[in-house]
Every structure is written in structure tokens, then in C-alpha cells.
Amino acid sequence: METKKYVYLFNEGNANMKNLLGGKGANLAEMMNLGIPVPEGFTLSTEACTKYYEDDKKLSEEAITQTYEALAKVEKVTGKKFGSVDNPLLVSVRSGARVSMPGMMDTILNLGLNDETVEGLNKLTNNERFAYDSYRRFIQMFSDVVMGIEKRKFEDILDEVKALKGAKFDNELTSSDLKEVVNKYKALYKMEMEKDFPQDPKEQLLEAVTAVFRSWDNPRAIVYRRLNDIPREWGTAVNVQSMVFGNMGETSGTGVAFTRNPATGENLIFGEYLINAQGEDVVAGIRTPHPISRLEQDLPQCYKQFMEISEKLEKHYKDMQDMEFTIEQGKLYFLQTRNGKRTAQAALKIAVDLVEEGLITKEEAILKVDPKQLDSLLHPSFDQKELENTEVIAKGLPASPGAACGKVYFTAETAKDHHEQGEKVILVRLETSPEDIEGMVAAEGILTARGGMTSHAAVVARGMGTCCIAGCADLKIDEEAKTFKLSGKLYKEGDYISLDGSTGNVYGQAIKTTENEIGGHFKAFMVWADEIRKLKVRTNADTPRDAEHAVKFGAEGIGLCRTEHMFFDEERIPAVREMIVSKTELQRRKALDKLLPMQREDFIGIYEAMEDRPVTIRLLDPPLHEFLPQVDEDIRDLAEEMELNFEELKATVESLHEFNPMMGHRGCRLPVSYPEIAEMQTRAVIEAAIDVKKRKGYNIVPEIMIPLVGEVKELKFVKNIVVTIAEEVIAKEGIDLKYLVGTMIEIPRAALTADEIAKEAEFFSFGTNDLTQMTFGFSRDDAGKFLEDYYDNKIYEFDPFQKLDQTGVGKLVKMAAELGKQTRPDIHLGICGEHGGDPSSIEFCHNVGLDYVSCSPYRVPVARLAAAQAQVKNYRK
């Protein structure tokens, strides 16, 4: 059997081998091919990582053998030898996944040093101080990064020796001081690990490689992967590279540089370096690095070569590069290059500039901006300096992006009142319900203890563009006392906190926020995205205000108007409640008559905001008990208000109680029992459309959507009510009005029988919130509580309420789309669940042939870009 290749010398790879060699490894290989000076080395592939996990976290024999073979080749080329006292080879060991990934083990330098080779290094460089400084750094890094011994313990030793010798800075320590440090470090290692510090360089190397593979699965890496759609199966590669030293005197140095400014995108080299230093000194911030332009004076030859290479790299990769370099005694080496991380503003400017410079096409430019990054342009953000110095007191789900700072209030009412008095408020609730809407509107940010990414708080906050952190499990609220405790501190009503809805971080004090500006590049760039994409982008909006916002962000229609949100308005809720507590159809109709004009006004406002764009309006969906108070005190108040008997009202509330309301009397099941509700809503939809058509001349084609259908006869029953009323109104008004009747596909049975359903439905809209809930059998409001355990045990990697589960739920979507088209080839297909704003789910929707995605207003630009990227990646006619 042929042995599998797990190890590649740098000269065996190229930039196209990222999947196998990781980004860093592939780029090192590519630089070597380009003739750029790169220290020799090799890469253990991502397949070696996968194999390590397959083999129960053990490095395979093949990988070990091949590592030693590669090492021998590097020794040959460099003329140095691993473990040699005369001419020791030292290496760095660095992780490198397909995409750069914080959270994993990063770098170990100077590997190969031991009590003997350190003397070899001393002789070779004639610099004892340098040799022992390198050794003590290596022991610290190896102990901390590979073995997990706390870094602080080493720093304490160093501080101790410094104090003893009266040295202020590290570089004031003499070689004999450093020898002392080395001895103390080794003693600490022995105490912690109950064995000596490994002296065999090969053992050091295998330990370090294993540590990189292990770090692929540490908790920070897992969280990062979940937030950035990186599958676990990719694995990471490991790069082993011979060391070059930037700390060998005044003609040596090390630095990092970007070919353009990563904060603004300005086309000017941007970088820093330190003379006589190793990489970590630049990062640690102990000495202040010089701007790269100073290198022209310090080492003009190196500067010239550096500038030539960086230009070559940018042209070659057709993107802004982030490079690391080291100069060893006047000779320049590149240690890394990659497409640099950048702010959203910079990303847009660079993409547009590169097209204008003729370096890339518009299609290529579209792929250079991360859609999720656009979020940060549309929302306020924190002052970075302040943020860095502020402690995170808790973490929840990053439910709606943005930065918010304000005083804490625990009820919607108090939040609203204090907002009206001019305060900035943060609404803190166990969970929110539709009754909290006014408090949510007033709040800068919303923090809930419970609920997932499709909880009420999350969905509504995203819709409004308000920052929200949901499911903050550590948050223990005492509603009576109006306090909560976090990180051991008690917070009272009126105390300041700050929320970062993009990370889920909660801060226990005020932090300054700044509004971001949407520059001219945004517009130019989005025009290209719109030209390219095939998917239309609609919005989920329930008010004219949200609709207007969404149109500004580029929405091409409304894909979901949740009419129940209109029923919670202070003026309407009495009539809604009157309808619910009615004993007879007649009473119910009387109450509905009161709601009709209000509902009609709602729709008029929305049609006017949307002008000629399509509008999908969904009939009432939630279970009716949501509109009634639940606790005795509130029921008593309401009974008084409605002039009803408390006992009777309580009995009504109890009769509406359901054990599992999300699977209860809701959606199309309501009009099956009470057709008059659907009648009133249809009347309002059609009358409003006729009114706006007559007054404004817009060509409005209302799309009436029937929710929670699972059986075609059920749909037919409700559709019949809708069509009867619509025809009656149209005939009475004597106007030609086209309208559509369709359904949501959000129950697995509807997806399974979509060919039947399509006989009655003129369009499908995939309600993937409910479809996910019902396919997994996970409650969308409670899953957050136990999903963490699923991540920890590697059962699921992602929250299926955020990122569509393509294997299961996606299969239903794909099948229903195909079945629907079989029956009705021109059936219009869209998605209105929260996944409609998630880039990877949008790509899926594009691939299965949906016509549009619909998402909350602030995610419309994200969706436009994601849709364009889907088209560039998967061309669709």
C-alpha cells in the first residue's frame, strides 16, 4: 500500500494548496516559488491533523517518519543540524489553518535549544547573551503554549531576577543573569510537569506539533469557528521553519507590514519594525516599534528589497498583503504573507480601488468583502481604546449587532419612561414578549437571560437595528428587587452597562460609542453586487418605518409582514382582547370591526413606503393567549378595565392555556376555528391596496400568506375564506386588482407534500425558524440552554437557528422547492426565516433555486452582498 503524504517541503507546494497546507503553508510555498527569500521548512498537512483526531489524538507513524525525513532535507539545505552542538538548527513551529484563526496555538520560536545547543548558538554567534535570551524565551513559550503552564509564573521569575539585579528592562540583564533565569525556568517546569524540560529536540518538535493539532479543538477555537462558519473537519496544518534571528545586533530586526492601510484602506505601505528584536517584542509592546519608513535610513538595502517584494506580493495575490519579515545580519527574509484582515471601510475601499487599478474584476472584488462585516458599518461601535480597558462581565448570544450603552431598566414601562426623560436606557429582561415592544423601541440595547437567536428579543431587535444580547445564562435577575448580579457585583436600576451585540460581550460600565459613516465606496460596491446577483432581496418588516429603512438599505419588497406585531399597540390591544374573550361569533365580529380600520391604516402605510414593490402579508400567527395577561394581578386589572368578572376572565385565560403553544392553536389553525379573523385581515389588505392604488397609482399586488400549513385541505379551507372576501371587496370597489395567495412552508409535512400544497399555493415562503424547530424537535426559545452541551460534545458545530442545517432542514427546503415546481412551474419561492440574512444559508438558497431571500432591514445589505457572492461562486443562469 502506498503511504499517504502528510509532510510537504516548502518547495513542494503552491498557493492553490490552501486546503492541504493551510493558508500560511501554501503562501510560504508560493513565496519560495516566486524566488522570495523564505527560511527553509516544511508543512504537516491538514490531513495529518484529521488523521490525528481519527487516531484518538495520536500522531501517525507515517507523519512522524515523514517529519524526520523533511527535517533531514532542511538540515542538508541549511547545513545546520537539529541537536548539533557545533551548528544547531533551530526552528519555529506555527499553526496555519485554511483561514487564519485566532484562538489556536500560534507560534513557538527557537525550538531545538537545549543545555548543549545553547552553547552551540553562543559559539556560532559569539554572543552568549543572545543565546541564553533565546533559550529562556523558548522554555517559557514551550511551557506555556505546549504544556499549558501559566505564563505569569515565568514572568514572575523574570521580574524577580530583574529586581534582584536592579534592571528595569529585559535587555539590561547580562548573560549570567539570563543563565540564572534559565535555571529557574527549568526548575519551575520540573515542579509543574514532574519531569525535566525535554532536552531532545525531536521530542520537543513532536510535542509542539501535537500541541498545534490539539489547539484546533480548544474552546476558543471552537467558538471562533462557530462565529465564522469554519467547519471542524478542515483541520489545521503545522509549519516548521528554520529560525532566522532578528535579535543578532544592530543590523538585525523584525517587523510586520501591510501593503495598504488596514484601517482606512489607503494605498500606502503601513508597518512597524524593531531593530535587534524577535517577533514577540513587537507584539508585546515593551519597546515602541518604528514606522517602516525609518528602515530606509537604518538599512537602506533591506528597505529597497522589502518594498520591491511587498509590491510583487500584492500584485501576485491581487490583494492587500499582511507580511512578517525578519532581517538577520543585513539579510532580509519573509516569514509570512497573507491577505490582510481589515476594517469594513478599508475592505470596501480596497475592493473598489483594486478594480479601478485594473488588478481585479468586479466579480473578484465582490468576494473580497465579508458580508457580515457590513453590519459594523450600519451600527454604532465602541471606542476601541476604552473597550480594550474594560472588563467583560458576561457573555451571551450576539443576537443583534451594534454597540449600546445606557442605564439599566427591568420593565418595558420604566425603560420607556426614562427614555422619554432623555436617558439612554438598556432594557434587561428574563426574556421579552410582544408586550415589551415599546420598551424595546425606547432602548439603546436589549439584554435577556433566556432565549436563542430566533427568540422574540433577537428577531425584533434585529428588525429594528437595535443592539441585543440574548440568552445570557449567567444573568440572574431578581425582578422583585430590580437588580441583577454578574461577576459578583450587584447592578441596580439606573446603573450603567454596555452591550456589544456583535460579540455578545456585556460590560459593567459606560463605554463611549461612535456612529460609523457609510462612505462613497459602499454605494459603488453595492451597485456591483446588485448587478451580479440573481437572488432578489426582500425584508421582514411590520411597520412603515421599518419598511422605509429597508428600502434605503436596498430591499426590493417585503417578504414577511407579521401582522400580529400590529395588534400589540396600546390602542389596539383592547379590541384584540375583546375579540379573544368573545363568547359568540357575533361578539367576535363586533370586536374585529373595531380592528379593521386600524389594520387597513397599517397596510396603507406599508404599501406607501414600498411604492410598487411586492408586499407579502401574513395572516395572524401566534397563539391567542399571547395577547392576554397571565398572572392574577394583571388579569384583575384587565377585568376591571374591560368591565368583566375576574373569575370569568381567568377561566378564559386558563382555557387558552396550552402545554406546547408553539405546536398549538396558532397559524392557519386560528381561521379554521374563527374564519372571521382571516376575513377581517383580508378585507384590510385588499381595501388598503385599492385605496393606495387609486390615490397614488402604485401597482400593488398584495401577496396574502397563510402560515403554518401542513395539509393542502387546510390551506384550501383558509384560502377559500381569503378569496371570497377579496373578490367581494374587488367587485364592490369595481377596480382591477391582482393579488396572490400563498403559504409558508414551515412544517415538515408541508415540505413533504409540497406538490399537493402547490395546487393551492401561488407562492411558497420557507419559514425556516419553525421548520428548523419542528424538524429538529428543538424549541426555538429553549434550545439555547442546551445547545452549548451539544457544541462541547461535538454533536453540533453551529446553531441551526442561525445557520441553516443544510443536511436536514435544507433537504426539506430543496425537496419542497422541486415538488412545488413540478406542480406549478412558475411558483414563486422565497425564504423569510432568520436564515434569510445569513450568508452561508443565502448561498444555499441561491443553489436550490429560490427567487428571493427576506431578512430584517439592517441585514439587507449583507444579504445583497451574500447573494452576489453566491452567484460568483456558483453561476446560475
Count of residues engaged in binding ligand PEP, rule: CB under 6 A: 10
Q: Is 559 in the site for Mg ion (CB under 5 A)?
A: no
Say if residue 746 carries a ligand binding annotation: yes
From ligand PEP, Mg ion, none, interface partner of 380 (C-beta below 5 to 8 A by class): none
Rank residues 504 and 622 by Cβ distance to ligand PEP and give the closer one.
622
Q: Is 770 in the site for Mg ion (CB under 5 A)?
A: yes
Which DSSP string do the residues of 325-339 spell out, in sequence order? EEEETTEEEEEEEEE
- Would you call 618 helix, strand, or coil by DSSP? strand
Say if residue 618 carries a ligand binding annotation: yes
Rank residues 257 and 745 by Cβ distance to ligand PEP and give the closer one.
745
Rank residues 767 and 857 by Cβ distance to Mg ion and give the closer one.
767
Query: N- to C-terminal Cα distance for the chain?
Result: 45
Minimum distance from CB of 865 to ligand PEP (Å)? Answer: 22
Minimum distance from CB of 662 to Mg ion (Å)? Answer: 9
From Mg ion, ligand PEP, none, interface partner of 319 (C-beta below 5 to 8 A by class): none
From Mg ion, ligand PEP, none, interface partner of 832 (C-beta below 5 to 8 A by class): ligand PEP
Among 81, 214, 562, 600, binds ligand PEP (CB under 6 A): 562
Cα 304 to Cα 75: distance, rounded to the nearest angstrom: 30
Q: Which helix (H) or strand (E) segment is 639 a member of? A: helix 632-642
Strands (E), 276-424: 290-291, 321-328, 331-339, 381-382, 392-395, 397-400, 403-409
The set of residues, in sequence order, having a beta carbon less than 8 Å from that of 229 and lying 6+ positions away, is 798, 803, 839, 840
Minimum distance from CB of 677 to ligand PEP (Å)? Answer: 17
Q: Is 710 in the site for Mg ion (CB under 5 A)?
A: no
Q: Is 769 in the site for ligand PEP (CB under 6 A)?
A: yes
Compute CA distances 72 → 5, 76, 108, 242, 273, whole Å: 16, 6, 20, 12, 33
From Mg ion, ligand PEP, none, interface partner of 48 (C-beta below 5 to 8 A by class): none
Rank residues 582 and 616 by Cβ distance to ligand PEP and give the closer one.
616
From Mg ion, ligand PEP, none, interface partner of 768 (C-beta below 5 to 8 A by class): ligand PEP
* Interface map 587-626 toward ligand PEP (x if CB under 6 A): ----------------------------------x-----
Cα 493 to Cα 473: distance, rounded to the nearest angstrom: 20
Q: Is 626 in the site for Mg ion (CB under 5 A)?
A: no
Say if residue 65 carries a ligand binding annotation: no
| Cβ atoms 265, 288 nearer than 8 A | no
Identify the DSSP state of 845. Answer: H
Minimum distance from CB of 8 to ligand PEP (Å)? Answer: 46
Q: Select from 26-34, 342-350, 683-691, 767-775 the region that touches ligand PEP (CB under 6 A).
A: 767-775
Minimum distance from CB of 746 to ligand PEP (Å)? Answer: 5
Say if residue 588 carries a ligand binding annotation: no
Looking only at the bridges linking them, the beta strands covering 505-507 and 91-97 are unpaired
Rank residues 118 and 850 by Cβ distance to ligand PEP and give the closer one.
850
* Interface map 730-769 toward Mg ion (x if CB under 5 A): ----------------x--------------------x--
| Cβ atoms 83, 111 nearer than 8 A | no
Q: Is 379 a catalytic residue?
A: no
Q: Select from 309, 381, 386, 306 the least CA-distant residue to 343.
A: 381
Say if residue 235 carries a ligand binding annotation: no
Q: 152 is written with which cell numbers?
A: 505569569
Minimum distance from CB of 707 to Mg ion (Å)? Answer: 6
Cα 479 to Cα 408: distance, rounded to the nearest angstrom: 12
Among residues 832, 845, 846, 855, the one annotated as catalytic is 832
Compute CA distances 583 → 261, 368, 594, 634, 640, whole Å: 69, 61, 17, 21, 18
Cα 426 to Cα 418: distance, rounded to the nearest angstrom: 10
Minimum distance from CB of 767 to ligand PEP (Å)? Answer: 3
From Mg ion, ligand PEP, none, interface partner of 833 (C-beta below 5 to 8 A by class): ligand PEP
Q: Is 746 in the site for ligand PEP (CB under 6 A)?
A: yes
Q: Is 767 in the site for ligand PEP (CB under 6 A)?
A: yes
Among residues 456, 521, 565, 846, the one annotated as catalytic is 456
Rank residues 398 and 767 by Cβ distance to Mg ion and give the closer one.
767
Residues in the chain, overall count? 877
Cα 764 to Cα 824: distance, rounded to the nearest angstrom: 11
Residues paired with 258 in a beta bridge: 270, 322
Cα 434 to Cα 356: distance, rounded to the nearest angstrom: 49
Among 770, 799, 805, 838, binds ligand PEP (CB under 6 A): 770
Q: Select from 604, 627, 624, 620 the least CA-distant residue to 684.
A: 604
Q: Select from 36-44, 358-366, 689-697, 763-771 the region that touches ligand PEP (CB under 6 A).
A: 763-771
From Mg ion, ligand PEP, none, interface partner of 556 (C-beta below 5 to 8 A by class): none
Rank residues 104 and 745 by Cβ distance to Mg ion and give the closer one.
745
Minimum distance from CB of 769 to ligand PEP (Å)? Answer: 3
| Cβ atoms 532, 872 nearer than 8 A | yes
Q: Is 832 a catalytic residue?
A: yes
Rank residues 336 and 775 by Cβ distance to ligand PEP and give the closer one.
775
Cα 270 to Cα 411: distance, rounded to the nearest angstrom: 49
Strands (E), 81-225: 81-82, 88-89, 91-97, 107-111
Q: Is 832 in the site for ligand PEP (CB under 6 A)?
A: yes
Cα 794 to Cα 714: distance, rounded to the nearest angstrom: 40
Say if residue 768 carries a ligand binding annotation: yes
Q: Select from 559, 531, 689, 675 the least CA-distant residue to 612.
A: 689
User: What's phi and psi for 16, nearest 5 deg?
Assistant: -80, 0
Q: Is 401 in the site for ligand PEP (CB under 6 A)?
A: no
Identify the DSSP state of 89. Answer: E
* Residue 192: Cβ within 10 Å count: 14
Say if residue 420 carries a ligand binding annotation: no
Q: Kindly give the residue spans of alpha helices, DSSP state H, lying in 780-824.
A: 783-792, 809-823
Using a 10 angstrom Cβ sphere, with 0-12 exposed, 13-18 middle and 19 or more buried, the burial of residue 191 is exposed
3-state helix, strand, coil in the chain (%, to 5): 50, 15, 30
* Interface map 786-825 toward ligand PEP (x if CB under 6 A): ----------------------------------------
Q: Is 279 in the site for Mg ion (CB under 5 A)?
A: no
Minimum distance from CB of 141 to Mg ion (Å)? Answer: 52
Rank residues 282 and 708 by Cβ distance to ligand PEP and give the closer one.
708
Rank residues 370 and 746 by Cβ distance to ligand PEP and give the closer one.
746
Report the amino acid identity of residue 593.
Answer: D
Q: Select from 18-26, 145-153, 510-518, 768-776 the region that touches ligand PEP (CB under 6 A).
A: 768-776
Q: Is 703 in the site for ligand PEP (CB under 6 A)?
A: no
* Residue 33: Cβ within 10 Å count: 15
Minimum distance from CB of 834 to ligand PEP (Å)? Answer: 7
Q: Is 401 in the site for Mg ion (CB under 5 A)?
A: no
Q: What does the buried/exposed string (b/e) look like for 609-643 if buried means 16 or more CB atoms within 10 Å of the residue's CB?
A: bbeebbbbbbbbbbbbbbbbbeeeeebeebbeeee
Annotated binding-site members for Mg(2+) = 746, 770
- Which residues lie near Mg ion (CB under 5 A)? 746, 767, 770
Annotated binding-site members = 562, 618, 746, 767-770
- Which residues lie near ligand PEP (CB under 6 A)? 560, 562, 621, 746, 767-770, 832-833
Show which residues are catalytic: 456, 832
Annotated binding-site members for substrate = 562, 618, 746, 767-770
